[in-house]
Structure 1
Amino acid sequence: MSDETERWTKATVYPDMWTDPADDPRESEGAGPEGEPATLQDYLASYRLTLRMKCEGLDPEQLARRSVPPSTMSLLGLVRHLAEVERDWRGWIGDAEPLPKLYGARDADFHGAVAEQAVVDAAYRDLEREQAETDAALAAHPDLGERVGKDNISIRELLVHRIEEYARHCGHADLLRECVDGRVGQ
């Protein structure tokens, strides 16, 4: 008997994929989005969905498990962290003082990711709310070249940074999930 998690997948076409391409909700038929804003939003939506897919089917203990020691990361911690950074990005748009942290001091998003259903439910609610509020704040600035906030950052840079943040953490989620139950990613 081994303590090592055995790799597995639901895909039947490619054994190293999360799901079969025909069943992947991120895939669509036809031409891709038209124009830069739509393309950026499409990539962001895909990474957001990828994170949700990496977490689906797990119980609170599995979501909260720090499966890649010594890292403090867990899938639930990533959900909470991304809610926190969505909130933070809104502060870059305006000149107001930063919004208070959702979960407390540094790394509280990861440290507070405990195996309780109420914590899991709250994390998903927080993420959805913060995503929607940041999406709405950015939608008020349709010119991607517009510079905003105290740092004079462009809307385009904010959008690309959001995509980068989700993409990086989806890579983490691949490893975390595989260590939790062996499910491979794509």
Structure 2
Amino acid sequence: MTTTDRTTPPLKADERTTLEGWLDFQRATLLVKCEGLTNEQLRSTSAPPSPLTLLGLVQHMAEVERNWFRRVLTGEQAPPIHDPQADPHDRDGGFDLSADITFEDAQATWENEVTRARANCAGLDPERTSPFMGGEVTLRWIHLHMIGEYARHNGHADLIRERIDGATGV
């Protein structure tokens, strides 16, 4: 596993750069929480009775990236990643682990979704809208939602990591 480059978002920038900077910071934070652990540790459920794992969080965030930046933003008919039979509108997928998934596989899938998300957002105005739940949602709202989604799950990841090996913060 490599060391993740986590850049502090710019302190003074335009809206688009600020939103993208904070989202990338939160994305990198999730990977930092996973660094240095074995696949077994990344699969461990360290806060019983919750079945939540660091590996499951990475898989889940790949599903969330796909949902917001492909299905919602561009209207793409992208099937679920980790459970192809699941309802494509189920935004809570990815938490369940298959016996043969490795962190490297999950990370590669997640990185692919992040790359697609960045490409789909390239050059778009934050005011750009997409149909959502009978109305419209702006790219700004999607970015803010994703920052919040990562921040919430990074809090979970911090607690899980602390239970695994005592590492906190970052």
Aligned equivalents of 2:75 and 2:96: distance in 1?
Answer: 30
Of structures 1 and 2, the one with the larger relative CO (CA 8 A, separation 6+) is 1
User: Normalised by the size of structure 2, how large is the TM-score?
Assistant: 0.83
Larger radius of gyration: 1
Aligned equivalents of 1:84 and 1:175: distance in 2?
Answer: 22
Give the match for residue 126 of structure 2.
Answer: 144
Give the match for residue 137 of structure 2.
Answer: 153
User: Normalised by the size of structure 1, how large is the TM-score?
Assistant: 0.76
* Per-residue deviation, 1:71: 1.1
- Identity of paired residues, percent? 39
SS of the residue aligned with 2:65?
helix
> Are 2:149 and 1:173 aligned?
no
SS of the residue aligned with 2:127?
coil
Give the match for residue 129 of structure 1.
Answer: 112
Q: Is the 8 A contact 1:77 1:113 kept in 2?
A: no
Aligned equivalents of 2:74 and 2:96: distance in 1?
Answer: 29
Any gaps of 5 or more consecutive residues in structure 1? 1-23
Counterpart residue type for residue 122 of structure 1: D
Give the match for residue 37 of structure 2.
Answer: 58
* Per-residue deviation, 1:109: 1.7
- Number of equivalenced pairs: 157
* Per-residue deviation, 1:50: 1.0
Q: Is the 8 A contact 2:6 2:29 kept in 1?
A: no
Aligned equivalents of 2:93 and 2:51: distance in 1?
Answer: 10
Aligned equivalents of 1:27 and 1:37: distance in 2?
Answer: 15
Runs of 4+ off more than 3 Å: 24-28, 105-108
Aligned equivalents of 2:157 and 2:71: distance in 1?
Answer: 26
* Per-residue deviation, 1:77: 0.5
- Check 1:163–1:180 CA distance in 2 against 1; reply closer, same or farther (3 A cut): same
